[in-house]
Amino acid sequence: MKGYRLNEVFAACPPGFESVLLAEINDLDLPLTKAPKQVIGGVELDCPDRQTWSQVAAETNLWLRSATRVLARLARFPVHHLAQLDKRSRRIDWSEVLPTDCRLKVEASCHRSRIYHSDAAATRVFKAAADGAGAHPGGGTNEDHFKILVRIERDLCTVSVDTSGAPLYQRGAKLETAKAPLRENLAAGLLQLADWHPAAGEALMDPMCGSGTFLLEAVGLACRRAPGAQRHFSFENLKMHDPERFAAQKEKAEDQALSVSPVPISGSDNSGGAVGATQRNLERAGFSKLATVQRLDISEVRPSAATGLMIVNPPYGKRLGRESRDQRQLYGELGQVFREQFAGWRLALLTAHGQLALATGLDFKQVSVAIPHGGLRVKLYRHEP
Ligand SMILES: C[S@@+](CC[C@H](N)C(=O)[O-])C[C@H]1O[C@@H](n2cnc3c(N)ncnc32)[C@H](O)[C@@H]1O
């Protein structure tokens, strides 16, 4: 496999969050051969050898907040027809990576390439892995299954193993959801996109907290809690996994965690069900003493500190129809309470409709790129004092 072997890790994130993810990766100070490279949909990390590659995969899974998953890239080679794909994927040392007799699923995608039949490509690579490591067909989602991803782009094939398993936004604590919940990695990415810096003393409040996603992620950021500390990852079953080293990585993460938040983190919602769900989600995460939550209408919310960031994801429909009158009124109330009560605070508002942002009567100087969420494209509107 000389020349084709890769020791690369790819951290994938939702579109629009690449720069946030890159900043998170730079903060980890990983042993890489060169600076991590931001590309569309994620960040590429080049490792010096297989041992570092597996260490970096573990560290990134454990710590990255805005990533969706982490792939370990095994090989890259030019390919022009299926017989060549078969031959080249058999040169991968599968037994070095996969445990014998494991269950495996291969997913392939082909773009602008002579090989265009993705199912046929997946079958070839599966057979090579099955012969190389005695793998059996499997679902690729459960803990004891592995997923291999094959991407053929302009006749160049990249073969990766998924090291995360369940997507990274499934942190293990938010088991209850209210209406239209955000994914954890999206909420964490939005807090960072809004330039929230708890260490600089800025409080945080979400007055329409739903199931509490912003609060959970805010506590994680402020108290330096590793987002993956409570879950299992697919790499823990890979042959190259070093359980002792991973236990040490987790222990180091625990040592860094703060037991008190440096700033007040609070949430509210006018739905009793949502407040209850948030409270139980915070408890499951071990964060119940690190954030407060209460039942309040938007008109009743008041600041928890002299300065802070209000981050909020109010309801919005797919289209702005006649029923949107209530929504415009709600956004108007939000704008009014913010103007009258929150002098010195910043606002970050997530919505799918610019007209609803306008209905707040606030001036938004910074608007993010469109971010896919729940079948819609939402934007983060930022108001600074
Ligand atoms: C889109 S959801 C927020 C989802 C949340 N970000 C999450 O990840 O779970 C909007 C929330 O606004 C709340 N809400 C609607 N009208 C409100 C009002 N007048 N005052 C306070 N909360 C309100 C709803 O109960 C709902 O939980």
Residue 36 lies in a domain: yes
Residue 168 lies in a domain: no
77 shares its domain with 195: no
- Tell me, in angstroms, the distance from the centre of ligand 1 to residue 41's CA: 29
Domain boundary among 112, 132, 162: 162
Q: What is the pLDDT of residues 62-83, one digit of tens each?
A: 999 999 999 999 999 999 999 9
Residue 314 Cβ contacting ligand 1 at under 6 Å? yes
40 shares its domain with 111: yes
Which amino acid residue places its CA nearest to atom 3 of ligand 1?
A: 210
Residue 267 Cβ contacting ligand 1 at under 6 Å? no
Q: Which structural domain, as residue segments, surrounds residue 344?
A: 184-223+258-383
80 shares its domain with 210: no
199 shares its domain with 113: no
Residue 89 Cβ contacting ligand 1 at under 6 Å? no
Residue 232 Cβ contacting ligand 1 at under 6 Å? no
Residue 13 has pLDDT above 70, yes or no: yes
φ/ψ region of 151 (left if φ > 0, alpha if ψ in -120 to 50, else beta) reads beta
Residue 271 Cβ contacting ligand 1 at under 6 Å? yes
| CA pair distance 269, 19, nearest whole angstrom | 31
Measured distance between the N- and C-terminal CA atoms of the chain, rounded to whole angstroms: 58
101 shares its domain with 198: no
Residue 111 lies in a domain: yes
9 shares its domain with 103: yes
21 shares its domain with 158: yes
105 shares its domain with 194: no
Q: What pLDDT score does 319 carry?
A: 63
| CA pair distance 212, 72, nearest whole angstrom | 32
Which amino acid residue places its CA nearest to atom 13 of ligand 1?
A: 208
- Tell me, in angstroms, the distance from the centre of ligand 1 to residue 268's CA: 9
Q: What pLDDT score does 139 carry?
A: 59
Which amino acid residue places its CA nearest to atom 17 of ligand 1?
A: 270
- Tell me, in angstroms, the distance from the centre of ligand 1 to residue 210's CA: 5
346 shares its domain with 280: yes
86 shares its domain with 208: no
Residue 330 Cβ contacting ligand 1 at under 6 Å? yes
Residue 144 has pLDDT above 80, yes or no: no
CATH number of the domain where residue 207 is located = 3.40.50.150
Q: What percent of the chain has pLDDT over 70?
A: 96
Q: What pLDDT score does 142 carry?
A: 56
Residue 360 lies in a domain: yes
Question: Helix/strand/coil (H, E, C) string of 312-369?
Answer: ECCCCCCCCCCCHHHHHHHHHHHHHHHHHHCCCEEEEEEECCHHHHHCCCCCCCEECC
Residue 17 lies in a domain: yes
Residue 233 lies in a domain: no
Q: What is the pLDDT of residues 192-223, one digit of tens each?
A: 999 999 999 999 999 999 999 999 999 999 99
The total number of structural domains that make up the chain = 2
Q: Is 207 helix (H, G, I), strand (E, B) or coil?
A: coil
Residue 237 lies in a domain: no
